[in-house]
Structure 1
Amino acid sequence: MLQGGHFSNLAEFPVLQMLYRQGMGIPGHPNNTGRKPLLIGNSRQIQAQLEYIYRGNYGLISMDELLEAGLSREEAELVWNLKMEFAYGKIKRTDQLLDSIILRDQEVEIRDNIYIRRDDINQFTISYMGEMVSVDLNIPVYKRYPAPYPLGFHDIKREYFGVVHSGQGDGWDINRPCMASIIVYQGKIYLVDAGPNIAYCLIALGIGINEIEGIFHTHCHDDHFAGLPTLVLSDHRIKYFATPFVRASVFKKISALLSLPEEDFFEFFDVHDLEEGMWNDIDGLEVKPRLSPHPVETTTLSFRTFWGGRHYTYAHLTDIIGCDCLRAKEGKSKIFPAGYLQKIVDGYLEPVDLKKIDIGTDMVHGRANDFEDDRSNRIILGHTAVPLKDYQKEIGSSAPFGMIDVLIKSDSETLVEKAYLYLSDYLAGIEEHDLKQLLNNQIVDFNPGTIILRRDSSITYLYLILTGIVEMINVERGIYNTFSSGALIGERYGENTSLSNATYRTISFVHALKIPVSPYYRFVEDHQLLRSLSQLFSRKEFLLHTWLFGESLSPRVQTSIAEHLVPYEFDKVGSLISALDERFIYVIERGAVARSMDGRIVEQLEAGDFFGEDVAVFGHAYQSELLIQAPVSGYRLHTEHIMDIPIIRWKLLETHQKRIRASRGRN
């Protein structure tokens, strides 16, 4: 389900392709022959996929769920009537739309003399007429794949109010990211939707996960939803903005996909519900979500802020419906009040400074010619995988990936402000006038692919990352991690403080505050911070070399974790570890432990690995034992110090799911 922190089991769009693009699920279509798309897997995964696809197809699936999501009965009835229009009058269970094959231990025929056997977790053998092929779908922990399409690199200025175009394609586009935008407001970063491959998009734009303030969500289809796990890979809970009915459908879908309670996702995001049809104030940035007809709960989003005597407004209209289609439904149907659907059309056509529209031109998407008389200052055409036609080019503009429309230019020193915030956060308690000693240094720019510090080279400057992403590489020790805004590159204490412990290399455009080493260490010593920072350094260094703690943690969070580490030791080789404090997770610094079940080793744990999360975090023990193979020592950490750090919680969840599957064997 999760591999490398990301979804690895998204079947919705392949199924939608077969059902609707190929016509297998459309009444009367020549390809609707009775043969259904086929899901193959173990029983738990099949059930999870059926429920997830069900939610992706329909969203909320009853009047009761709509009412629970905060709609009035009148509103719920209108939304339900719209839903029935798209569902051809009936909500169908997914098993009515799909066939499935449950894999156990035996070889099973798929179709037409093609057989499949499950050999292990995510490992299969497929055979046909004596020919066989082995398939391994496991992804190594540190495996990194290139982006599926060229994105280039872009140096995005943090404007006062601007819109970065981070996707113009649709869910079928093999050349571009799905339709999305990034709002830059007063230097803060807000996403509008999170589609597949968003991690690559953010790197190309030089935006680190920890820099993201929040996400505004329009609906739960995978091309706007699949990137949510990327946003969990942060050291703080990113704000999640949506109307309650959109949020409910999103959380029910992700809950089905991961087989987790919906309420768990409030632990990963800082949830803020938006009121539909009203302007909601988000620290000066106003947003108005409007209901938009679609098979699942969907809203368009308009953003505005006041400047120079007027409002500047951006409207994001994804997954809208053709205006003629809406007018036709209103004219033919008595189930919608007079003017109800026309009001939606009027909302689509309301003039603004900048408008991005969906021109997917099918039964559940918009059309460019609906906007030929739109009086907006600038219209961007999106949500399409095909080249624009000439008549469309007369209506709206294109927006290549990474282009920014600046609505209100920033005249402030945004990077200096960031530097102050990061330093004051890390060097807590230092007065502003003292911090200015460090701030009065040069801000430097690095192109993508530039080595900032080389392993074992002399450190003459520290670099406080203000924007962008930097990778840390030490091939000899098998270490790879990434850092983004707020990270301090090159800081070392104790022995070999003058030599870099790794190579630090930019993977995007990077802006950094360049701080000379000697004045920095003199500064922390003068302010009586040297002892505390140096005492924690070895622990922080150890944490950086682990998978669980080595990625996307700001210096403040690293320091907080290091402060609460408690040493432990188990030295009786050949014995079982049984006396664990159930409030702690245990991280190995030295030694080796084997996780065994029924005398069979199912996992080998060494330096950098961890155990104890089964009870401490998830409340129930694995059906396995921990055998000491070599004297083991390290640190234990009370779970209260990590429960509010999403990336750590998410990695623990991924590991927990893997270990549960391992404890069940191949079932």
Structure 2
Amino acid sequence: MHKVNKINILSGVHWVQIPEANLYILCGCPADSIKHLKKRGLIETREYQGEEYDTGPNAVLLSDILIQNGNFSNMSEFPILHMLYLQGMGIPGHINNTGEKPLLIGSEEQVSAQLDYFYRGNYGLINKEEIIEGGISEEEAERMMQIKLQFAFGNIIRPDELVQSVIVKQQPVELKNGVFITRVGFNKYQITYKDENVEVDLSLAAGEAYEPPYQLGYHHIKREYFAVVHSGEGDGWDINRPCMASILIYQGKIYLIDAGPNILASLNYLGISVNEIEGIFHTHAHDDHFAGLTTLLRTDHKFKYFATPLIRLSVTKKLCALMNVKEENFSKFFEIHDLEFGKWTNINGFEVKPEYSPHPVETNVFMFRAKWQGKYKTYAHLGDVVSMRVFKKMIATKPDEPGISPEDFNQIQELYSQKVDLKKVDVGGGMIHGDAVDYLQDPSEKLVLAHTSGPLTDQQREIGSSSSFGMVDVLIPSNREFLYDSAKEHLQFYFPTAPQHELNFLLNHPLRSFNAGSILLKKGEENNYVYLLLTGSVEFTDSLLKRTHTFPAGSLIGFYSGYVGQYALETYWASSNVMTLELPLGTYNEFVKRNNLYSDLLRLEENILFLEATWLFGEVVSFPILTKVAQIMKPSKLYQGHTFSLYGQSTLFIILEGKVEMWYNEKRIGELSKGDFMGGDNIFFGDDNHFDINVLEDTYIFKIPAQAVTEIPIVYWKLLESYEKRMRVL
């Protein structure tokens, strides 16, 4: 039998075990990697002296880069928590607590960022001063800090006291017991023990992504007046279901409540496009409710972010630690809407009220309501609550000892037991989660129990309901089709010069649904329709050119069909269940001619094709956003020998043809050519930068107002990344 064994878990993730050295390494740790190990049988539950514990990894090898193909590669919080608490490495007196710490292995940059991110994920805000910074009074901050310390057994511990760092540079480094690791290339490592070794490659190939650990059924979700879609009932260890979350629909608009791992996969199964999301209501910063934010900030438009300033501050510190960026960048990725504890706020017609809830990190639960026929319909989302049994033990028995007051206990008990029409509650148990028995007498019309790692027990089923992925509770039914409102907004965007009666002409056509996997247009075949995508996602593929691209809701499929001919240039197929506005090709052609749109569409086509071919815009920027940029970009020419400074420029320049040379304070950075970009530095990074350009040959460029680009989070992130790379060259 081999001393060193490697198992490929999924693209970019491997398992290396050396039992003789008691070393089990998770190589690569994207979100939900522990669930993948459990599904492969590499984590088992065992029992010792009547106490259950898990086996599993005792080391994590990090990717050399945080993001690959738009996916975050390093999300080590739950693997480390699994080692410390489910395996018992951090529990006093546990059979697996031998004094050894979990190993966190990788480059100095990634290890440092992961330790900071884990620290914030474990505790949130770490002292009273930070809590006060979140808008809390000194008296309330003291109370919240006492609760935090109760969960932390009285002490905030630095991550390096819980985790052992192993920095890998160029030379072999010993991990433990004679096992060595060597970096043999970018994202490639060799692990050696005695006379055996294996190599692991943590890179994703072009087009690859980390797969979710579960497969879910495809759904058609009607855009109701006021409804709750159950999009997650599991916890961070459940291998078959997404983590606890919900989706709120109000007047056809989509709002997320929390964003757990693999959020885009969940949305795709539900037939919801990321472009349909109005915003997210956020409860707290634990990864099973937070990891999806890393996906949302890599999209092409800002989401509205709803939470109290306290929770936002906690989330900001964790997200920016993970990304290793300044905290002020949070507002570049999300449109912030602060809420106030205990106060109802109107959000475009429905109301929301956050309430403080005890947890190891700062947490708010949410109450939602909408009025109909003279009374409110209400939904309570109680994510990651505390059990009354555990909370009661925190009551101080003496005036001078730390703990909570009886009034604190009664206040939280009253909060959790409010009567609503629909209540969804965490009953995960243990030291930091809720217990179903606390809701035995709950007066709500319907009680949904969630945040478990398996099916409800018989006792839990006597108390509340279960819910499966994609089930919908309609609080106020819809008596109209809200998708036509979306169609109107999209058509006004594409054809701003067309009069309203002409748009109404298009809107008078039928809606058509396609099931996941169906072909809308087939390459080379006659195309009889143009489709306005209203829900879900469509992909186009060209196998000869090896190109694929995803089109979200709002995209116009066959946009150019009116003048390039009746044959489809690519194949378009539904990657989820979708709804479209179906426009006959002849009708669409008449509309284009009648409104003199031909030249506008031709110019947009040329600009969009160019943007799609650039690194800056071509990865995940959607068709509607590309169209928006294409409408405002202006061509220009730079002549050979011309020199100019980018200092103070509020314009982004993208090179169409030609070549320029970039300098910084008389130090050469390098050459830029077709598809490269420059400028806008004062918008993105302030006025302290002094980049200069020397035009090496006649160069054609496009000018784009830099301020418009700052509203596209994925593009802003790439600009930030490129700026840092250019500065590293110096």
Partner in structure 1 of residue 79 of structure 2? 14
1:491 & 1:520 partners in 2: Cα distance? 10
Change (3 A) 1:326 1:233: same
Partner in structure 2 of residue 313 of structure 1? 378
Partner in structure 1 of residue 466 of structure 2? 398
Secondary structure of 1:84's aligned partner: helix
2:599 & 2:671 partners in 1: Cα distance? 37
**2:555 partner amino acid:** A
Asked whether the 8 Å contact 1:5–1:650 carries over to 2, the reply is: no
Partner in structure 1 of residue 417 of structure 2? 349
Secondary structure of 1:55's aligned partner: helix
Partner in structure 1 of residue 186 of structure 2? 121
1:503 & 1:595 partners in 2: Cα distance? 40
| CA distances 1:555-606 after superposition (whole Å, capped 9, x unpaired) | 553333113434467999xx9x98675645554656899999xxxxx99998
The CA deviation at 1:218 is 0.3
Asked whether the 8 Å contact 2:232–2:245 carries over to 1, the reply is: yes
2:372 & 2:729 partners in 1: Cα distance? 59
1:390 & 1:95 partners in 2: Cα distance? 42
Asked if residue 451 in structure 1 is aligned to residue 516 in structure 2, the reply is no
Partner in structure 2 of residue 373 of structure 1? 441
Asked whether the 8 Å contact 1:2–1:654 carries over to 2, the reply is: no
Partner in structure 1 of residue 142 of structure 2? 77
The CA deviation at 1:104 is 1.4
2:703 & 2:482 partners in 1: Cα distance? 39
Partner in structure 1 of residue 706 of structure 2? 639
2:151 & 2:636 partners in 1: Cα distance? 59
Change (3 A) 1:660 1:78: farther
Partner in structure 1 of residue 496 of structure 2? 428
Secondary structure of 2:391's aligned partner: helix
The CA deviation at 1:635 is 3.8
2:434 & 2:602 partners in 1: Cα distance? 59
**2:342 partner amino acid:** G
Q: Which has the higher mean CA deviation after the structures are superposed, 586-595 or 293-302?
A: 586-595
Asked whether the 8 Å contact 2:561–2:585 carries over to 1, the reply is: no
1:453 & 1:591 partners in 2: Cα distance? 36
- Within a 5 Å distance, the mapping from 1:36-51 to structure 2 comes to 36-51=101-116
Asked if residue 481 in structure 1 is aligned to residue 481 in structure 2, the reply is no
Partner in structure 2 of residue 148 of structure 1? 213
The CA deviation at 1:147 is 3.1
Asked whether the 8 Å contact 1:622–1:663 carries over to 2, the reply is: no
Asked if residue 197 in structure 1 is aligned to residue 262 in structure 2, the reply is yes
1:131 & 1:627 partners in 2: Cα distance? 55
Asked whether the 8 Å contact 2:646–2:691 carries over to 1, the reply is: no
**1:641 partner amino acid:** A
The CA deviation at 1:45 is 1.7
2:671 & 2:454 partners in 1: Cα distance? 49
Asked whether the 8 Å contact 1:585–1:616 carries over to 2, the reply is: no
Secondary structure of 2:474's aligned partner: strand
**2:442 partner amino acid:** D
Asked if residue 384 in structure 1 is aligned to residue 452 in structure 2, the reply is yes
The CA deviation at 1:433 is 2.5
Partner in structure 2 of residue 324 of structure 1? 389
Change (3 A) 1:240 1:496: same
Change (3 A) 1:333 1:80: farther
Partner in structure 1 of residue 8 of structure 2? none
Asked if residue 218 in structure 1 is aligned to residue 283 in structure 2, the reply is yes
Change (3 A) 1:56 1:167: same
Partner in structure 1 of residue 330 of structure 2? 265
Asked if residue 498 in structure 1 is aligned to residue 563 in structure 2, the reply is no
- Find 2:716's aligned residue among 649, 655, 663: 649
Asked if residue 416 in structure 1 is aligned to residue 481 in structure 2, the reply is no
Secondary structure of 1:330's aligned partner: coil
2:691 & 2:166 partners in 1: Cα distance? 28
The CA deviation at 1:16 is 0.8
Partner in structure 2 of residue 514 of structure 1? 582
| CA distances 1:364-386 after superposition (whole Å, capped 9, x unpaired) | 00111111111211111111112
The CA deviation at 1:44 is 1.8
Change (3 A) 1:391 1:51: same
Asked if residue 467 in structure 1 is aligned to residue 532 in structure 2, the reply is no
**2:450 partner amino acid:** G
**2:597 partner amino acid:** L
Asked whether the 8 Å contact 1:159–1:410 carries over to 2, the reply is: yes
Change (3 A) 1:35 1:177: same
The CA deviation at 1:292 is 1.0
Secondary structure of 1:452's aligned partner: strand
Change (3 A) 1:458 1:423: same
2:534 & 2:329 partners in 1: Cα distance? 32
Secondary structure of 2:200's aligned partner: strand
Asked if residue 358 in structure 1 is aligned to residue 426 in structure 2, the reply is yes
Asked if residue 251 in structure 1 is aligned to residue 316 in structure 2, the reply is yes
Secondary structure of 1:329's aligned partner: coil
Secondary structure of 1:401's aligned partner: coil
- Find 2:606's aligned residue among 515, 538, 548: 538
Q: Which has the higher mean CA deviation after the structures are superposed, 354-363 or 532-541?
A: 532-541
The CA deviation at 1:458 is 2.8
Q: Which has the higher mean CA deviation after the structures are superposed, 603-612 or 279-288?
A: 603-612
| CA distances 1:167-218 after superposition (whole Å, capped 9, x unpaired) | 1111111111101000011111000000100010011111111110010000
**2:709 partner amino acid:** I
Higher relative contact order (CA 8 A, sep 6+): 1
Partner in structure 2 of residue 227 of structure 1? 292
Asked whether the 8 Å contact 1:209–1:233 carries over to 2, the reply is: no
Asked whether the 8 Å contact 1:493–1:534 carries over to 2, the reply is: no
Partner in structure 2 of residue 526 of structure 1? 594
Partner in structure 1 of residue 3 of structure 2? none
The CA deviation at 1:164 is 0.6
The CA deviation at 1:268 is 1.0
Change (3 A) 1:556 1:342: same
| CA distances 1:341-391 after superposition (whole Å, capped 9, x unpaired) | 211011111121111111111000011111111121111111111232111
2:173 & 2:671 partners in 1: Cα distance? 32
Asked whether the 8 Å contact 1:326–1:341 carries over to 2, the reply is: yes
- Find 1:5's aligned residue among 43, 63, 70: 70
> Unaligned regions of 5+ residues in structure 2, if any?
1-65, 664-668
Secondary structure of 1:260's aligned partner: coil
2:210 & 2:568 partners in 1: Cα distance? 27
Asked if residue 208 in structure 1 is aligned to residue 273 in structure 2, the reply is yes
Asked whether the 8 Å contact 1:56–1:296 carries over to 2, the reply is: yes
**2:377 partner amino acid:** Y
Change (3 A) 1:142 1:316: same
Partner in structure 2 of residue 183 of structure 1? 248
Secondary structure of 1:150's aligned partner: coil
| CA distances 1:426-482 after superposition (whole Å, capped 9, x unpaired) | 211433332111111121110101111112333321100111100111222232111
Secondary structure of 2:231's aligned partner: strand
Secondary structure of 2:175's aligned partner: strand
Asked whether the 8 Å contact 2:396–2:404 carries over to 1, the reply is: no
Partner in structure 2 of residue 131 of structure 1? 196
Change (3 A) 1:384 1:19: same
The CA deviation at 1:243 is 0.8
Asked whether the 8 Å contact 1:326–1:342 carries over to 2, the reply is: no
The CA deviation at 1:493 is 6.8
The CA deviation at 1:284 is 1.8
Asked whether the 8 Å contact 2:216–2:269 carries over to 1, the reply is: yes
- Find 2:118's aligned residue among 48, 53, 72: 53
